[in-house]
Amino acid sequence: MHGARPISQRHRALKRAAPRLSTVGSAGFDIGGIGPAALAIAPDEFANRRRQLMQMAGDDAVMLVAAAPERMRNADAAWPYRQDSDFHYLTGFPEPAAVLALLPGRQHGEAVLFCRERDPVYERWHGESIGTERAVTEFGMDDAFPIEDIDDILPGMIEGRARVYCHFGSVPEFDARLLDWMRRLRQLRGGGVVPKEFVALGHLLHDLRLYKSRAELKLMRASAAVAVDAHLAALQVAVPGRREYEVEAELLRAMRSRGAVSAFAPTVAAGANACVMHYQSNRAVLREGELLLIDAGAELDCYASDISRTFPVGGRYSREQRALYEVVLAAQLAAIDEVRPGLPFNASHTAAVRVLAEGLCQLGLLRGSADAAIADESYKRFFPAKTGHWLGMDVHDVGDYRVGGESRVLEPNMVLTVEPGLYIAPDDYSVAERWRGIGIRIEDDVAVTRDGHEVLTERMPKEAEAIEALLAARSTG
């Protein structure tokens, strides 16, 4: 991994040589000597998370977490499967049709998994299942049962417990089953006692997920490395005349060839399309003189990265593009400086807004002073977004942004994005025509360390000269 270097030094390094792609062999990753085995999260860590959660919930509780259902795209064609983040966090178990029950203090085992039993006929069509046996031997469960038997077994396990922690209101099928289990519990011989309380599991679980472990940070660095490679590859093909989706294809190729998937549908926005915050149609032609904004991230073993860069299709920023770019870059660097333990989450936003407002005033895009633009929020016309979000298994990761009405104080091992931007709408007649239709965002992934921060995506150049140098060196064949 690349340590933090002063900008001037980084500049020199970039001028000397174009950034190298991470070395990737057919076996998967080889990033800084980390092999695929070293990247995987160990069964012990999953067990620790379960233990921690049970401790938080108390002995009279039960926690129920369902695997993500398979989702249909149309007719009988399913979307590519993605495990539920909470379920993955607690099990590492990659299949649908599974439910984890955590039963603190249960004599015959606290961590119980209901999952698909192995079945040769099913496996003939869908490939190997893990099965209840390996759920115990390989995934560290205390006990496992076929998912078909859950209605008969689970209600009896819940009996006598005071609180059920689970997610309700997100997957209707799970809500319906939960109610059915309660009905069955009540009908148990002698009349079962239904838990008195239903508690949202997120309050406990999502606070755990906010702090990344060493193994998770390793995965997030690897995910970031794939995203950097994807952006570098995309930049090579983003020449005038190509379509946005051709650039998207290059991003996806780079990710898939490293065993990752796209963490979200990439934004590849040429020219004024960049002023649409979540532009995803990706169909327009790239034109000389326009900027291209790419917002794309990889997902590796369920861990996301999220990078945005904005560069000139023709290879050189115009005077106006460059002026705005320098403002966004200065805002981003100032915002990253505010990522340190002890500072509130919103400090980076405050810093970014200050630099953006000053820049907008200096360039004459806003009248009056930066203080006034911040006070009356007129800067929001050009920057309507927040400067960042938590990053983890979900690209907009879980975790509270405010605690007791105050912005959350950053602590080591939290990971967030820093992504200020400026977006001048093509029909904003309040500014001179030469500014209109320029959209710029610069986004990096930043982990809070004990004494500051680590920019996980640092290898991706962002200084204007460095980007122009990269573009000048590309083979436009």
Q: Tell me which residues touch Mn ion (CB under 5 A).
A: 306, 417
Residue located via tokens 């399309």: 273
Helix or strand or coil: residue 89?
helix
Helix or strand or coil: residue 340?
coil
Is the alpha carbon torsion for 194, 198, 204, 206 positive or negative? positive
Q: Which helix (H) or strand (E) holds 204?
A: helix 202-210
Q: CB within 8 A of 451, min separation 6: which ones?
A: 340, 341
C-alpha to C-alpha distances, 121 to 80, 115, 125, 126, 182, nearest whole angstrom: 22, 17, 7, 9, 33
* Alpha-carbon span 181 to 165, nearest angstrom: 14
Among candidate residues 173, 278, 266, 207, the one with its CA nearest the CA of residue 52: 207
Residue 390 gets which letter from DSSP? B
Residue located via tokens 């509130």: 344
Among candidate residues 239, 248, 300, the one with its CA nearest the CA of residue 279: 248
For the chain, the first-to-last Cα distance in angstroms comes to 33
Residue located via tokens 């990737």: 24
Residue located via tokens 């069964």: 43
* Alpha-carbon span 230 to 255, nearest angstrom: 6
* Alpha-carbon span 188 to 161, nearest angstrom: 14
Among candidate residues 372, 369, 374, 323, the one with its CA nearest the CA of residue 352: 374
- Asked whether 103 and 162 are in contact (CB, 8 A), the reply is no
Q: CB within 8 A of 330, min separation 6: which ones?
A: 355, 359
Q: Which helix (H) or strand (E) holds 423?
A: strand 421-424
Is the alpha carbon torsion for 229, 303, 218, 34 positive or negative? negative
- Which runs of consecutive H residues, i.e. helices, occur in 60-119? 85-91
Helix or strand or coil: residue 166?
strand
Q: Which helix (H) or strand (E) holds 210?
A: helix 202-210
Is the alpha carbon torsion for 277, 288, 464, 309 positive or negative? positive
